[in-house]
Amino acid sequence: MTTPGSASGASVAEPAPGGADAHHRAHPSAVLWHRRSPRSPALASAAALTGIDIATLADANAIALAASQEARLLLDSMEVRLRTLSTTVETTAERCINSVRGPIMWSETITARANALGNDDVFVCMGTSRSFDTVENQLLVDALESIAAAVRALRGPTGSRVAAKDVERIAAAAAEAARWRREPRLAGIKAKRLTGRAAARVRGGHRGGQMSAVLAVRRKSREPFGPGDLAALSDPWTRSMHALVLRVMDALDHPRALTLSDGGMWSGDLSFRHPASPGRGTAGLAVRGRPILGLQSEVANAPWAHLLPTTGIAIPVDFGPEQIRDRLTS
């Protein structure tokens, strides 16, 4: 796994220049990632396909995000953004004695007077105040926290693999994000799950242009890997397994989408879970729960080879689609 090495490096593994996308799409690992369902979380799906633990992938994602151009654009706009934060009106119940400060909440007032031994000078009023806890600001907080996560990631094993010339720049961006996150106006706001309705309102509202930098960081954080990145994250043994998965998928004419479930990637009754990735079910490739074995010598030297099934349906290297179908249905 490679970490970002340029000012605009925004992915865990940098794609090769010049026609890279077409090259990576032809790679089995890249094709499998391209077929992943968009509803399957990126980090957990990458772990199921590559065997890299989620914590390592999350750290690499945080470091790459802090190094990205998207993060830089957001941080550069924060000074102006803080002066134009969206606001809403927050209502609170306020207990008043001998005075009325806003509309009287009679039900609460009667209860309060009963608890005050019949004191008729007690009122519970509806007070209003300005609040910064809006959907737009929750998204901003989430973006800043995602960038700031690189501070911790740089201290871990993944951080030790970042080029020395990049560490200072990435750490500075992460520290800046953490500093903006501590601003008094944002300090009391917590990131929350974005609903479809709220997302449509943010994108289509009058603040849509202003939110573009925030949404760009959000997209980069949740979809950190392109097809080419998966090819770079996979070791040679894993790539050979991905090639077998692709051969069997195409031979069975399975639905194209791979969906994450129980720690593995599923397409109909076909499943794949990297042996080094935790989860239920058969390690490696399986169809209807029956292990599918490729050329054993291709993975014999892998550190996780002992976790693969030793018995199952063998698929020789020279088998074509029709032969694969016959073998699996016989």
Claim to verify: residue 253 and residue 187 sit in the same structural domain? no
C-alpha to C-alpha distance for 110 and 123, rounded to whole angstroms: 8
- For CA atoms 254, 42, 28, 303, the dihedral sign is negative
Claim to verify: residue 168 and residue 288 sit in the same structural domain? no
DSSP H stretches of helix in the chain: 20-25, 28-34, 42-50, 54-66, 69-76, 78-83, 106-115, 135-148, 150-155, 164-181, 184-187, 196-204, 212-222, 227-233, 236-252, 321-329
- Name, in order, each residue with C-beta under 8 angstroms of 271's C-beta and a sequence gap of 6 or more: 264, 265, 281, 282, 285, 286, 287, 289
In the three-class reduction of DSSP (H, G, I as helix; E, B as strand; rest coil), residue 124 is classed as strand
pLDDT (tens digit per residue) in 53-81: 999 999 999 999 999 999 999 999 999 99
Claim to verify: residue 95 and residue 123 sit in the same structural domain? yes
CB atoms within 10 A of CB 76: 12
H or E element: which one contains 96? Answer: strand 88-97
Please tell me the predicted confidence (pLDDT) of residue 10: 37
Domain that holds residue 312: 235-329
C-alpha to C-alpha distance for 191 and 319, rounded to whole angstroms: 51
Claim to verify: residue 104 and residue 222 sit in the same structural domain? no
Indicate the residue among 196, 228, 260 that finishes a domain.
228
Residue 160 domain flag: yes
C-alpha to C-alpha distance for 275 and 308, rounded to whole angstroms: 6
Claim to verify: residue 127 and residue 29 sit in the same structural domain? no
Claim to verify: residue 160 and residue 275 sit in the same structural domain? no
Please tell me the predicted confidence (pLDDT) of residue 208: 63
Residue 9 domain flag: no
In the three-class reduction of DSSP (H, G, I as helix; E, B as strand; rest coil), residue 171 is classed as helix
Please tell me the predicted confidence (pLDDT) of residue 230: 87
Whether pTM > 0.85 for this model: the answer is: no
Residue 147 domain flag: yes
Claim to verify: residue 165 and residue 37 sit in the same structural domain? yes
Looking at the structure of the chain, the number of domains it has is 3
Residue 221 domain flag: yes
Claim to verify: residue 168 and residue 242 sit in the same structural domain? no
Work out the angle at residue 4's Cα, subtended by the Cα atoms of residues 221 and 16, and round it to the nearest 5 degrees: 100
Residue 7 domain flag: no
Indicate the residue among 131, 163, 196 that finishes a domain.
131
C-alpha to C-alpha distance for 64 and 221, rounded to whole angstroms: 9
Q: What is the DSSP letter of 198?
A: H
Residue 212 domain flag: yes
Mean pLDDT, each 10-residue run in order, the chain (330 residues): 41 39 65 93 95 94 94 95 87 85 88 84 86 90 96 92 91 97 92 74 69 92 88 92 94 85 94 94 94 92 94 94 91
C-alpha to C-alpha distance for 145 and 151, rounded to whole angstroms: 10
C-alpha to C-alpha distance for 228 and 31, rounded to whole angstroms: 9
Claim to verify: residue 185 and residue 217 sit in the same structural domain? yes
C-alpha to C-alpha distance for 302 and 235, rounded to whole angstroms: 9
C-alpha to C-alpha distance for 296 and 287, rounded to whole angstroms: 18
Beta bridge partners of 273: 284
pLDDT (tens digit per residue) in 200-230: 777 766 666 788 999 999 999 999 988 888 8
Claim to verify: residue 67 and residue 181 sit in the same structural domain? yes
Residue 284 domain flag: yes
In the three-class reduction of DSSP (H, G, I as helix; E, B as strand; rest coil), residue 35 is classed as coil
Inter-CA distances, 99 with 94, 112, 118, 276, Å: 11, 14, 16, 68
What is the distance between the terminal CA atoms of the chain, rounded to a whole angstrom? 40
Indicate the residue among 228, 245, 275 that finishes a domain.
228
Claim to verify: residue 72 and residue 95 sit in the same structural domain? no
Residue 265 domain flag: yes
Claim to verify: residue 213 and residue 174 sit in the same structural domain? yes
